[in-house]
């Protein structure tokens, strides 16, 4: 018994060490991303302006290019040409944070390598924590937070591995991951411990893991939406003949076009929405076993319902005339704010059945 | 459904929809957006206008947002349905605001008129949207994909080449290819028209229908539900009739006959607790062992009920809701005759099971003068007592003590007024005095006895301390329907979000110079990278069966509008 306890204590300490190491490496990655953006600002690209202010003929530049493979042999094959839909601007995607600058690109690659390292450290920390408590590491907010940021970074790295154009997200992601972890180790830290009986259920694995995953993906979508709003007003300004500030130009030129960002965040949100539905339903089934009713308007239940409805509103708004674009984007942010409040706000300010172990 | 117009569909720069004509129509059954315009006069006109507004996407969206907005106060203001004592407390602390909230139904938001109005309107809007869409979709399934638009170059994805094959051959090959790829394809004029991804619409309709099923199941469950609590001491039992409940709530349409007949007996309760660390005393296991039987003559069966594992009998579930201690006490009269011996359940006051309650001796006791009298004892129980104040140090039975204050007189139980079994009504009770003339009280360890003064008898704290478990017995019909609806909703949602509905046209005609020109175009509901990818793949495959004809001297593609597009190699081309 005491031996086991000692092992557990060692594991818990190991977990803490790993989390702190991960934070240190994330910080390094953060600086590397900054360096990428700084060096990238040397390149003077103004594709957006060029695309938007050029003469009508030249304005019809390609919106999307599909699979640009070279070689004369392939040239004989039929080629698919793609048109942008009516009413959309044909703005090319930016080159990414490095802005085509070689040194910037190098720092960007260093930053990603560091992110991978930090991710592995953090993952180790989460696993060690789980081993020390001999259960899923989702019993309190500290454990939620460390798992949450691990998953968010995992999603980012996964999309990168799938060769999605998402490298631009790095700086924003590491910034929030550092904030999230900082909050976890200072305010929310809880000694590793066992669960109260109400949490002893395999539904813990199903319900909480999907909740964390959804949150991480919603977060990625929200970052895309915020950047979309900036980029969209930047493009609007250019299109109406305005001159955005140099900083805005430098940063926003390197991001994907507003249309791409919008599409990206829509896809991310839409892809995870069924899973969020599942999370709520899994929670309801668990509640049916644990509390004697599957739906009882507990604050956490209510807020996950509100979040669900807000995201449903966003998905509908995207298909509704007069709500497309910016208005839908505001809805997406509102929905994410609901998610955040459901996580932090409900746990801290509202008492309900979901209050366990410390915070 | 092929295109009938022979005139040029639209001048350059015209809107996309005009360009595509029928081809782009009905790629989904989404309602057309109409600008809100005032109706012509008349009741029917207004009704029609109202209905059209209600079933429009814009209003549905607003109702959705209102619904989420309306749900917020219920999570911040105490609700009677969840915690009635908190509501009472709130009313006491904020009388004015409490009255305002009362008028607005803020203490029962989710059953208030305005909240119901929002969701009922939303669901009416939903039904008004789904029914026509279902008919439309059925029509689309019975029809065929629309024929190719006149100018395929205007479509979002397009490709063309000149081939040595005959136009008929190309069309046949295209038809076979598209059918092999599970498109619904048919030959219409000089082109093959094909469509795929109908499951998107199916998913969409299933999802929205499932929402309606869930709502009805939930409402049904609320109307016919029954929920009650029963405290059972180890060794005692419960049978499922209304009179046996300590506390019972039911839905508006519930009748007594809806209760499932069953009974159970609590054999044993076991609780273990964290022994050390910051969460010392937090429960680790909680379990009650029961013997239960269904119906009047059912066989006894054995089951362990835990926090997450209720006992399920039909659509009734028996949950372990709370637990506490029930010390056994024996009361004797002045002659030493036992007048009372029972386990007295006490209510826990804190997380470490500091408990309080009352012992009431109602019948059979006669005082020293031989008169009938009732006895009452205020009881405080601590499972782990370390001296000092009567506050428990740990929830398990480590060093239990029972503190008793003794009274005699009239308990007031015969007056017919309901009273709490855990509290003494001291109005007509007199204190037993100790030698100093103060209220008689004593701290007892198991096995110890407190003597009442002047030969009034004694009370003994027996060594056998029982535990009690409180069970929540709830019955919520139609939960199976709710679950089914939920599962269908997830699948429908996934289908409607992940499946692309798209159309492909392949036109093969003989050009002016006698060489066959193949044109392919794709159209998706939303602009997706998948549509051109798939088109490239199809084109690559078709190209193998209809290889390129030698190019005439540098003439531009007949259909290509210069400057509109940039050629890129097809997907399928570099795969092979």
Most confident among A68-72, A179-183, B43-47 (mean pLDDT):
A179-183
| Domain co-membership, A15 together with A40 | yes
| Chain A residue numbers touching B566 (CB-CB < 8 A) | 61-62, 65, 81
| Domain co-membership, A35 together with A125 | yes
| Domain co-membership, A4 together with A114 | yes
Q: Does A295 touch chain B (CB under 8 A)?
A: yes
Question: A89 CB contacts (<8 Å, ≥6 apart)?
Answer: A51, A52, A235, A239, A257, A258, A259
Residue at token pair 């080629």: A79
Mutation for testing the B interface, residue in A77, A192, A336 having most B CBs under 10 Å: A77
| Domain co-membership, A126 together with A242 | no
Q: Which residue does chain A place closest to B17, by CA atoms?
A: A86
| Domain co-membership, A187 together with A301 | no
Question: B483 CB contacts (<8 Å, ≥6 apart)?
Answer: A285
Q: Does B256 touch chain A (CB under 8 A)?
A: no
Residue at token pair 């594709």: A47
Q: Is B74 within 8 Å of A297 when comparing Cβ atoms?
A: yes
DSSP-assigned letter for residue B557 = P
Domain contains A349: yes
Domain contains A50: no
Nearest-CB residue to B570 (from A79, A83, A297)? A79
Nearest-CB residue to A273 (from B67, B493, B569)? B493
Q: Does B573 touch chain A (CB under 8 A)?
A: yes
Q: Is B564 within 8 Å of A78 when comparing Cβ atoms?
A: no
| Domain co-membership, A318 together with A241 | yes
Q: Is A197 within 8 Å of B574 when comparing Cβ atoms?
A: no
| Domain co-membership, A187 together with A240 | no
| Closest CA–CA distance from residue A38 to any residue of chain B (Å) | 32
Q: Is B568 within 8 Å of A79 when comparing Cβ atoms?
A: yes
Contact B298, B262 (CB under 8 A): yes
* Per-residue pLDDT at A63: 33
Q: Is B569 within 8 Å of A321 when comparing Cβ atoms?
A: no
Distances in whole angstroms, Cα of residue B318 to Cα of each of A3, A124, B364, B494: 39, 41, 36, 35
Q: Is A277 within 8 Å of B71 when comparing Cβ atoms?
A: no
- Which residues are paired to B380 by β-bridges? B356, B403
Most confident among A210-224, A341-355, B279-293 (mean pLDDT):
A210-224
What is the residue-level pLDDT of chain B in tens, covering all 576 positions? Answer: 333 333 333 333 334 444 566 666 667 666 665 555 665 667 888 888 888 888 888 888 889 889 989 999 988 888 887 778 888 888 888 888 888 998 888 898 888 899 999 999 999 999 988 899 899 999 999 989 888 888 888 888 888 888 888 899 999 999 999 999 999 999 988 899 999 999 999 999 999 999 999 999 998 988 888 889 999 999 999 999 888 898 888 888 888 888 888 999 999 999 888 887 666 777 778 899 999 998 877 788 899 998 878 898 888 889 988 889 999 999 998 888 899 999 999 999 887 889 999 999 988 888 888 888 899 999 999 999 988 888 888 999 999 999 999 999 888 877 777 778 888 888 888 899 888 888 888 899 999 999 998 888 999 999 989 999 999 998 888 888 999 999 999 999 999 988 888 999 999 999 888 889 999 999 887 666 788 888 888 988 898 888 877 765 544 444 444 433 444 444 433 333
* Per-residue pLDDT at B556: 45
Q: Is A194 in a helix, a strand, or coil? A: coil
* Per-residue pLDDT at A91: 74
For B325-355, the DSSP string reads EEEEEEEE-TTS-EEEEEE---EE-STT--E
CA distance B30 to B136: 10
Q: pLDDT tens-digit profile of A108-132? A: 999 999 999 999 999 999 999 888 8
Q: Does B72 touch chain A (CB under 8 A)?
A: yes
Nearest-CB residue to A65 (from B277, B497, B568)? B568
Comparing B328 with A92, which gets the higher pLDDT? Answer: B328
Q: Which residue does chain A place closest to B309, by CA atoms?
A: A289
| Chain A residue numbers touching B569 (CB-CB < 8 A) | 67-69, 74-75, 77, 79
Instruction: Point out the domain boundary residue: A160, A194, A228.
Output: A194
Crossing angle (nearest 10°) for helices B113-142 and B43-54: 80
Residues 426-465 of B with CB under 8 A from A: none
CA distance B84 to B72: 19
Q: Is A83 within 8 Å of B155 when comparing Cβ atoms?
A: yes
| Domain co-membership, A223 together with A343 | yes
Instruction: Point out the domain boundary residue: A159, A194, A229.
Output: A194
| Chain A residue numbers touching B310 (CB-CB < 8 A) | 289, 292
Please give the mean pLDDT across all residues of chain A. 81
For A18-85, the DSSP string reads HHHHHHHHHHHHHHHHHHHHHHHTTS---HHHHHHHS-HHHHT--S--------HHHHTS-B-EE-PP
Q: If you count them, how many residues does chain A have?
A: 359
Q: Does A62 touch chain B (CB under 8 A)?
A: yes
Q: Which residue does chain A place closest to B271, by CA atoms?
A: A197
Q: Is B574 within 8 Å of A69 when comparing Cβ atoms?
A: yes
Tokens of B208: 């929205």
Domain contains A58: no
Q: Does B79 touch chain A (CB under 8 A)?
A: yes
CA distance B116 to B69: 13
Contact A253, A47 (CB under 8 A): yes
Q: Does B11 touch chain A (CB under 8 A)?
A: no
| Chain A residue numbers touching B487 (CB-CB < 8 A) | 281
For B384-404, the DSSP string reads B--SSSS--S-SSSSB-EEEE
Nearest-CB residue to A78 (from B161, B317, B479)? B161
Of B281, B214, B224, nearest in space to B253 by CA: B224
The pTM of the full predicted model, rounded to 2 decimals, is 0.81
For B168-214, the DSSP string reads HHHHHHHHHHHHHTT-EEEEETTEEEEEE-THHHHHHHHHHHHHHHH
Q: Is A302 within 8 Å of B74 when comparing Cβ atoms?
A: yes
Instruction: Point out the domain boundary residue: A171, A194, A217.
Output: A194
Q: Is A92 in a helix, a strand, or coil? A: coil
Q: Is A194 within 8 Å of B274 when comparing Cβ atoms?
A: yes
Residues 31-60 of A with CB under 8 A from B: 57, 60
| Domain co-membership, A304 together with A317 | yes
CA distance A307 to A219: 13
Q: Is B68 within 8 Å of A338 when comparing Cβ atoms?
A: yes
* Per-residue pLDDT at A201: 78
Burial class of residue A17 in the structure, from the number of CB atoms within 10 Å of its CB (0-12 exposed, 13-18 middle, 19+ buried): middle
CA distance B129 to B133: 6
| Domain co-membership, A99 together with A229 | no
| Domain co-membership, A298 together with A354 | yes
Contact A89, A235 (CB under 8 A): yes
Contact A159, A268 (CB under 8 A): no
Distances in whole angstroms, Cα of residue A262 to Cα of each of A154, A223, B352: 22, 11, 54
Domain contains A5: yes
Nearest-CB residue to B67 (from A57, A75, A309)? A309
Q: Which residue does chain B place closest to A284, by CA atoms?
A: B483
| Closest CA–CA distance from residue A141 to any residue of chain B (Å) | 15
Question: Rounded to the nearest 10 degrees, how much is the dihedral formed by the CA atoms of B73, B77, B79, B80?
Answer: -130
Domain contains A60: no
Distances in whole angstroms, Cα of residue A326 to Cα of each of A213, A225, A236, A262, A333: 26, 9, 12, 9, 11
Crossing angle (nearest 10°) for helices A170-186 and A2-40: 150
Q: Is B459 in a helix, a strand, or coil? A: strand
What is the distance of C-alpha A348 from the center of its chain? 23
* Per-residue pLDDT at A198: 67
Rounded (5°) CA angle B250-B254-B260 = 90
Contact B194, B178 (CB under 8 A): yes
| Chain B residue numbers touching A198 (CB-CB < 8 A) | 307-308
* Per-residue pLDDT at B39: 56
CA distance B400 to B397: 6
* Tally of CB atoms within 10 A around B455: 13
| Chain B residue numbers touching A271 (CB-CB < 8 A) | 497-498
Residue at token pair 């048109």: A83
| Closest CA–CA distance from residue B571 to any residue of chain A (Å) | 7
Contact B162, B549 (CB under 8 A): yes
Tokens of A122: 């953090």
Banded pLDDT at A22 (limits 50, 70, 90): very high
Q: Which residue does chain B place closest to A279, by CA atoms?
A: B490
Number of domains in chain A: 2
DSSP-assigned letter for residue B289 = E
Q: Does B275 touch chain A (CB under 8 A)?
A: no
Rounded (5°) CA angle A13-A19-A23 = 145
Q: Is A78 within 8 Å of B574 when comparing Cβ atoms?
A: no
Rg (CA), chain B: 39
Question: Rounded to the nearest 10 degrees, how much is the dihedral formed by the CA atoms of B67, B134, A328, B533?
Answer: 150
* Tally of CB atoms within 10 A around A198: 18
CA distance B14 to A86: 9
Q: pLDDT tens-digit profile of A246-298? A: 888 888 888 888 888 998 999 999 999 999 999 999 999 988 888 778 888 88
How many cross-chain Cβ pairs, A to B, lie less than 8 Å apart?
Answer: 226
Banded pLDDT at A87 (limits 50, 70, 90): low
Burial class of residue B193 in the structure, from the number of CB atoms within 10 Å of its CB (0-12 exposed, 13-18 middle, 19+ buried): buried
Q: Does B306 touch chain A (CB under 8 A)?
A: yes
Question: A303 CB contacts (<8 Å, ≥6 apart)?
Answer: A338, A341, A342, A345, A346, B75
* Tally of CB atoms within 10 A around A166: 21
Distances in whole angstroms, Cα of residue A214 to Cα of each of A122, A207, A209, B100, B237: 19, 11, 9, 38, 45
CA-based torsion, B101, B105, B110, B113: positive or negative: negative
* Per-residue pLDDT at B212: 93
| Closest CA–CA distance from residue A40 to any residue of chain B (Å) | 28
Q: Which residue does chain A place closest to B110, by CA atoms?
A: A297
Of B358, B351, B305, nearest in space to B329 by CA: B358
Q: Is A294 within 8 Å of B307 when comparing Cβ atoms?
A: no
CA distance B63 to A312: 11
Q: Is B565 within 8 Å of A293 when comparing Cβ atoms?
A: no
| Domain co-membership, A209 together with A163 | no
* Tally of CB atoms within 10 A around A315: 20
Q: Is B574 within 8 Å of A67 when comparing Cβ atoms?
A: yes
Nearest-CB residue to B568 (from A80, A309, A315)? A80
ipTM of the complex: 0.83
| Closest CA–CA distance from residue A15 to any residue of chain B (Å) | 18
Q: If you count them, how many residues does chain B have?
A: 576
Answer CATH for B150-196+500-576 from 2.30.30.110, 3.30.310.50, 3.30.930.10, 3.90.226.10: 3.30.310.50
Range of the domain at A224: 198-359
CA distance B101 to B107: 7
| Chain B residue numbers touching A278 (CB-CB < 8 A) | 490
């Amino acid at each position: 018994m005491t031996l086991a306890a000692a092992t557990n204590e060692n594991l818990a300490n190991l977990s803490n060490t790993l989390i702190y190491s991960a934070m240190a490496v994330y910080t390094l990655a953060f600086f590397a991303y900054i360096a990428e953006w700084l060096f990238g600002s040397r390149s003077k690209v103004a594709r957006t302006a060029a695309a938007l202010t050029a003469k009508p003929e030249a304005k019809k530049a390609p919106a999307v290019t599909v699979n640009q493979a070279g070689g004369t042999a392939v040239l004989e094959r039929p080629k698919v040409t793609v048109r942008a839909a009516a009413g959309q601007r044909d703005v090319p995607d930016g080159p990414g944070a490095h802005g085509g600058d070689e040194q910037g690109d190098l720092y960007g690659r260093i930053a990603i390598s560091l992110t991978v390292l930090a991710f592995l450290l953090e993952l180790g920390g989460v696993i060690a924590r789980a081993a020390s408590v001999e259960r899923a590491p989702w019993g309190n907010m500290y454990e939620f937070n460390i798992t949450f940021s691990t998953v968010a970074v995992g999603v980012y790295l996964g999309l990168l591995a799938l060769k999605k154009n998402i490298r631009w997200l790095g700086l924003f992601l590491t910034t929030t991951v550092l904030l999230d972890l900082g909050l976890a180790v200072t305010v929310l830290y809880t000694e590793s411990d066992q669960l109260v009986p109400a949490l002893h259920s395999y539904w813990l694995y199903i319900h909480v893991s999907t909740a964390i995953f959804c949150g991480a993906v919603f977060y990625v979508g929200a970052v895309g939406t915020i950047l979309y709003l900036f980029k969209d007003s930047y493009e609007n300004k250019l299109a109406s003949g305005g001159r955005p500030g140099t900083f805005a130009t430098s940063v926003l030129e390197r991001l994907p076009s507003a249309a791409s960002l919008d599409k990206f965040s829509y896809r991310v949100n839409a892809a995870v929405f069924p899973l969020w539905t599942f999370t709520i339903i899994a929670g309801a089934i668990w509640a049916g076993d644990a509390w004697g009713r599957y739906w009882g308007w507990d604050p956490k239940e209510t807020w996950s319902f509100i979040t669900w409805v807000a995201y449903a509103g966003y998905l509908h708004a995207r298909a509704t005339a007069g709500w497309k674009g910016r208005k839908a984007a505001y809805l997406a942010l509102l929905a994410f704010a609901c998610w955040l409040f459901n996580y932090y706000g409900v746990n801290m300010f509202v008492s309900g059945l979901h209050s366990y172990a410390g915070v | 459904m092929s295109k009938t117009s022979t005139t040029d569909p639209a001048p350059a720069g015209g809107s996309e929809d005009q360009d595509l004509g029928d081809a782009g129509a009905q790629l989904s059954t989404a309602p057309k957006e109409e600008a809100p315009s005032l109706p012509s006069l008349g009741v029917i006109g207004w009704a029609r206008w109202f209905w059209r507004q209600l079933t429009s996407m814009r209003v549905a969206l607003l109702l959705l947002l209102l619904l989420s907005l309306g749900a917020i106060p219920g999570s911040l203001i105490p609700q009677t349905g969840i915690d009635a004592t908190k509501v009472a407390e709130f009313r006491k602390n904020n009388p004015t605001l409490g009255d305002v909230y009362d008028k607005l139904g803020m203490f029962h938001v989710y059953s208030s008129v305005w909240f119901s109005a929002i969701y009922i309107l939303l669901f009416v809007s939903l039904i008004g949207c789904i029914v026509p869409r279902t008919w439309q979709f059925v029509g689309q399934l019975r029809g065929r994909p629309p024929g190719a638009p006149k100018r395929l170059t205007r479509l979002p994805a397009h490709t063309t080449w000149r081939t040595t094959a005959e136009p008929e051959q190309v069309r046949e090959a295209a038809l076979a290819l598209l059918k092999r790829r599970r498109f619904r394809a048919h030959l219409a004029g000089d082109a093959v028209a094909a469509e795929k991804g109908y499951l998107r619409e199916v998913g969409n309709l299933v999802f929205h229908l499932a929402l309606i099923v869930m709502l009805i199941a939930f409402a049904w469950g609320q109307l016919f539900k029954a929920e009650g609590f029963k405290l059972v001491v180890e060794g005692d039992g419960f049978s499922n009739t209304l009179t046996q409940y300590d506390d019972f709530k039911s839905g508006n349409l519930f009748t007594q006959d809806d209760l499932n007949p069953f009974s159970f007996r609590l054999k044993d309760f076991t609780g273990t607790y964290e022994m050390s660390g910051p969460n010392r005393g937090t429960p680790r296991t909680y379990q009650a062992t029961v013997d239960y039987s269904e119906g009047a003559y059912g066989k006894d069966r054995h089951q362990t009920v835990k926090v997450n594992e209720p006992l399920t009998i039909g659509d009734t579930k028996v949950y372990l809701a709370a637990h506490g201690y029930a010390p056994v006490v024996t009361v004797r009269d002045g002659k030493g005759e036992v007048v009372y011996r029972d386990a007295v359940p006490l209510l826990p006051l804190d997380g470490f099971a500091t408990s309080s309650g009352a012992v009431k001796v109602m019948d059979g006791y006669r005082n020293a003068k031989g008169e009938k009298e009732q006895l009452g004892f205020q009881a405080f129980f601590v499972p782990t007592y370390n001296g000092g104040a009567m506050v428990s140090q740990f929830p398990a039975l480590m060093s239990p003590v029972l503190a008793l204050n003794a009274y005699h007189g009239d308990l007031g139980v015969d007056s017919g007024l309901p009273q709490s079994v855990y509290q003494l009504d001291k109005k007509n009770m007199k204190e037993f005095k100790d030698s100093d003339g103060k209220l008689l009280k004593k701290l007892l360890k198991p096995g110890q006895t407190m003597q009442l003064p002047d030969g009034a008898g004694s009370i003994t704290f027996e060594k056998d301390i029982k535990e009690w478990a409180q069970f929540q017995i709830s019955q919520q019909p139609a939960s199976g329907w709710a679950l089914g609806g939920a599962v269908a909703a997830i699948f429908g949602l996934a289908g409607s979000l992940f499946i692309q509905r798209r159309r492909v046209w392949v036109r093969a005609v003989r050009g002016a110079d006698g060489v066959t020109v193949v044109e392919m175009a794709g159209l998706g509901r939303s602009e997706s990278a998948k549509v051109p990818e798939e088109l490239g793949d199809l084109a690559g495959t078709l190209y193998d069966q209809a290889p390129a004809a030698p190019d005439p001297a540098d003439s531009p593609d007949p259909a290509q509008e210069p400057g509109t597009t940039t050629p890129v190699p097809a997907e399928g081309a570099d795969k092979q």
